[in-house]
Amino acid sequence: MLESALYVDDLDRAAAFYDDLFGFPHLFANESLVALDVSGRSVLLLFKRGASAVEQRIPGGVIPPHDGQGPLHMAFSIAVDSLSDWERRLAAKGVVVEARMRWPRGGVSLYFRDPDGHLLELVTPKVWATY
C-alpha cells in the first residue's frame, strides 16, 4: 500500500504528534494536508477534516472528493527487538497504551490513540501469514 489517510481536526497538532513520536519526514504540507514519509515505504496523509470533501482541481487533473469521520485504525510494523523500546518511548511521551495483544502466531500488538482519537497499533511480525 502506498498511501493511507487520516482525517484530523487540527492539522498542526496531528503533524506534531506524528513527527514527535515517529519522526516521519514531511514530504509536503499546505493548509489542508500534511504528507509524511513512513520509513521510505509508504506515505501517511493527514487531511484537515472536511478540506478534501470537495473536488480539487490541480495542474495535471482532478482529485475526487473524500473525507472520513470517527476513529479510524492504522497499524505500523515494528521489529520484535524494538517492542520494549517502543513501550518506553510511548510512556515517556505520555501516550497511554490502551491494550497489548499477543496473537496466536506469536506477534504482539500495542494499541494507543492519536490526538484525534484514531486507534494506532504497533505490531511485530507473526501476526498475519503475510507479516
- Burial per residue of 55-68, b for 16 or more beta-carbon CB atoms within 10 angstroms, e otherwise: eeeeeeeeeeeeee
Q: Are residues 48 and 77 in the same domain?
A: no
Closest-CA residue to 93 (of 113, 107, 79): 113
Q: Is the pTM of this model over 0.85?
A: yes
CB 66 within 8 A of CB 53: yes
CA distances (Å), 60 to each of 30, 57, 63, in order? 18, 8, 10
Q: Cα 36 vs. chain centroid, distance in angstroms?
A: 9
Grid coordinates given for 119:
486507534
For the stretch 9-58, pLDDT in tens is: 999 999 999 999 999 999 999 999 999 999 999 999 999 999 999 998 88
Residue 20: phi and psi, rounded to 5, are -65, -45
Final residue of a structural domain among 41, 63, 85: 63
Residue 8 domain boundaries:
3-63
CATH number at residue 81: 3.10.180.10
Q: Are residues 47 and 90 in the same domain?
A: no
Structural domain count, the chain: 2
Please tell me the predicted confidence (pLDDT) of residue 58. Answer: 85
CA angle 101, 83, 100 (to 5 degrees): 20
For the stretch 61-105, pLDDT in tens is: 999 999 999 999 999 999 999 999 999 999 999 999 999 999 999
Q: Are residues 59 and 9 in the same domain?
A: yes
Closest-CA residue to 38 (of 11, 2, 66): 2
